[in-house]
Amino acid sequence: MKKIITILATLMLTTMSINFAKAEGFAVGVTGAYNMIEASGTESDAANTGTESSVRTKSVDNNVFTGSVFGEYSFANVSYADSGVTFGVRYTPGSADVSDKVFSRTDTANSDTGSDSGTYKAQAQVEKYINYYLDLPLYKSLYVKAGWSQIDVKTQESATSTTIGSYGDATLDGINYGIGVKGENGNIVWKLAYEATNFDTLNLTSSTSNKIKADLDTSEVNLSVGYKF
């Protein structure tokens, strides 16, 4: 991760010395990104006795490559920078695992709570990421990004016991921010950026009234290439 950020920072400093002319117009294109997904959460049993086995905490992560499409509109040059203000939307189809492994546990029978023994396996996926953003120029080709994002979280659990229960899915909102460099070559536009998104807290209740509370954050290094009309 540190190596990726160092390379990105070097490229940003190099391109800042180049003056890119910006023209007003609409652009569409594609984005390739290296994503770093991090999540941490707690699962509490419905009959929480306060023991270690009734409250479980876990932190997971996964690194994946994704592709997306975008459309944006850039205004003409503004007086305080060499690039214009840009409004856009970016959509990432497909899905990615939140964790790079499937986690499992084995519960023992408990006559007090009415549960029986069984093995529980859990995983989660995120999909249908959409991002509405605003690019604000800083200096020459350097810009900062701020936006609002939304993502679907799909739980994937299986159990050998019906008393363990299952969770549903959820949609999370998030605040997106980043920094990058951009430029044009004729009708071809490009952007290189580092971005991060902080999503709202995930709260889910299972069919057996167990509860999950989790935080999801993502960061990425991406390269976008498009065509301006």
Q: With beta carbons less than 8 A apart as the criterion, state whether 68 and 91 touch.
A: yes
DSSP assigned state of 19:
-
Higher pLDDT: 224 or 204? It is 224
H/E stretch holding 159: strand 142-159
The per-residue pLDDT of the chain, averaged, comes to 77
Flag whether pLDDT at 206 surpasses 50. yes
How far, in Å, are 18, 119, 120, 193 from residue 23 at the CA level?
A: 16, 60, 56, 20
In 3-state terms, what secondary structure has residue 52? helix
Task: Write out the two tokens for 194.
Answer: 């580092």
Over the stretch 75-125, which tens digit does the pLDDT of each residue have? 865 444 456 789 999 999 988 877 655 555 555 555 444 455 555 566 678
Could you tell me what percent of the chain has a pLDDT over 90?
A: 37
The structural domain count of the chain equals: 1
Flag whether pLDDT at 187 surpasses 70. yes
The confidence score (pLDDT) of residue 11 equals 46
Residue 149: give its domain's CATH number: 2.40.160
Domain residues for the domain of 220 are 2-228
Tokens 């023992």, residue located: 108
Q: Give the pLDDT mean for 58-65.
A: 86
Residues ≥6 apart with Cβ < 8 Å to 177: 144, 145, 146, 147, 195, 196, 197
The model carries a pTM of 0.74
Task: Write out the two tokens for 156.
Answer: 């994937």
The confidence score (pLDDT) of residue 4 equals 45
Q: With beta carbons less than 8 A apart as the criterion, state whether 203 and 169 touch.
A: no
Q: Give the pLDDT mean for 44-63.
A: 70
Q: With beta carbons less than 8 A apart as the criterion, state whether 132 and 148 touch.
A: yes
The confidence score (pLDDT) of residue 121 equals 61
CA distance 173 to 161: 33
The confidence score (pLDDT) of residue 124 equals 75
